[in-house]
Structure 1
Amino acid sequence: MKILVTGFDPFGGEKVNPAIEAVKKLPDAIDGNEIIKLEVPTIFYQSAQVVKAKIEQEKPDMVINVGQAGGRSAITPERIAINFQAGSTPDNSGKGPKEGKIETDGADGYFTQLPIKQMVTAIRQVGIPAMVSNSAGTYVCNHLFYEVQYMRVHEFPDLKAGFIHIPFLPNQVKNGRRPSMSLNDMVTGLTAAIKEAIHD
């Protein structure tokens, strides 16, 4: 099996994004299954174009997108992507999202194909906090999650796909007033989650 795992580049004035930092440190293979790692731009629509090109090139069996969710204290596999984008924060192109539907002919929402409850259990079993999330927000994370699901419906029907949010890194948090997680713990948790998804 071949698994494409993506992580976003830094955005919003941050010098680091834990998503791509954790993805880069994942093993190149998990239980004999190839892990392909890809950095994606935190830019509406362009992020999906980059991922689609990689899907066409590598033909993975599974796509797992990873993103930063500042303020969360646990690794959170996402249940559903919604066909809506909004927000006041510009993406890395300097533009904010055009509020409204992501795809005019798309479903209102798409559920992940990943075994998120079992993934949460697997993450907890290696000592890392985890919980299922029912909202990936309305920024670029949800946008990419939705777009990959839309691609799956229209172009890649055999693909399994999903999204995992991770917390801030400790060096992103001033005075420890917001939750964070070490990079090693993120990598350990993501590895456990991916292993569970592979064997589902």
Structure 2
Amino acid sequence: MAVAAKPLNVLLTGFEPFEQEAINPSWEAVRMLDGWKTGPATVHARLVPCVFGDALDTLNRAMDELKPRLVVCIGQAGGRAELTPERVAINIDDARVPDNHHRQPIDVPVVPGAPAAYFSTLPIKAIVRELRAAGVPASVSNSAGTFVCNHLFYGLMHRIALHADAGVRGGFIHIPYLPEQAARFAGAPSLPLDMLVNALRITVTTALAVKHDVRETGGQLH
């Protein structure tokens, strides 16, 4: 009797709105892909609270449930004009503003005693190349900030590094405002929802297909 193949699950997470926003583009885009299939893989979308600690609890529960082979966390970066796969997560919480539960850690490690930083295990440069080829503005980012986005990114990479999820690849991508958000801020860049959704499809298919990242420039002077 043939043994049934294990499901190939992909976990995408997006954040709830924060800092007086009515929507968060990360969740608006991610939720559109819940149940989407690409080859043998099925995407599962999960909403993450914009709360230190609780965000990681939500991520860990989803990973325990789904046992995904690929995890891509998405967050809002108002003011950025491109999709920016993040290169590195750092072990620090330093909140400019309180989170949605009024928590505001300052100079506190995400995981006490853990390494100072982890690199993404996504093929970030291949993702940028494929996004640009599809007409989507994209570049590598070397800073995920020190708010809940970096907190979640670091927690994900720490879990993967501890071999709790052997063979799992993961990382974080920041995305710009949606146009309806940018309309409130003179000169703020934005990208439409359909472009963001298509960009996430490209991201997932590239991350599943590319095992070794391309070697091309992605550095910045500042």
TM-score scaled by length of structure 1: 0.96
SS of the counterpart of 2:153? helix
- Which structure has the larger Rg over C-alpha atoms? 2
Contact 2:178–2:192 under 8 Å retained in 1: yes
**In structure 2, what is the equivalent of residue 6 of structure 1?**
13
Mean alpha-carbon deviation: is it higher for 170-179 or for 157-166?
Answer: 170-179
- What is the TM-score of this pair, normalised by structure 2? 0.87
Distance 1:121 1:146 in 2: 24
> Structure 1: which 4+ aligned runs deviate by more than 6 Å?
none
Q: Which of 133, 137, 141 is the matching residue for 1:133?
A: 141
Corresponding residue number in structure 2 for 1:187: 197
Which deviations, in whole Å up to 9, do the C-alpha atoms of 1:148-199 show, x marking residues without a partner?
1111122223211100100001111226511111011111111111110010
- 1:160 aligned partner, one-letter code: R
Letter in 1 for 2:20: G
Secondary structure in structure 2 of the residue aligned to 1:25: helix
How many percent of aligned residue pairs carry the same amino acid? 38
Paired residues in the alignment total 200
CA RMSD of aligned residues (A): 1.2
* Equivalent of 1:143 in 146, 151, 154: 151
Conserved 8 A contact 2:52-2:103: no
Deviations along 1:93-114, one digit per CA (max 9) or x if unpaired, are 0121242211112111000111
The letter for the 2-side match of 1:183 is L
Task: Give the equivalent residue in structure 1 for 2:83.
Answer: 75
Inter-partner Cα distance in structure 2 for 1:2 and 1:122: 22
Q: Is the 8 A contact 1:86 1:97 kept in 2?
A: yes
Asked if the contact 2:36–2:43 (Cα under 8 Å) also holds between the matched residues in 1, the reply is yes
Q: 1:177 aligns with which of 187, 191, 212?
A: 187
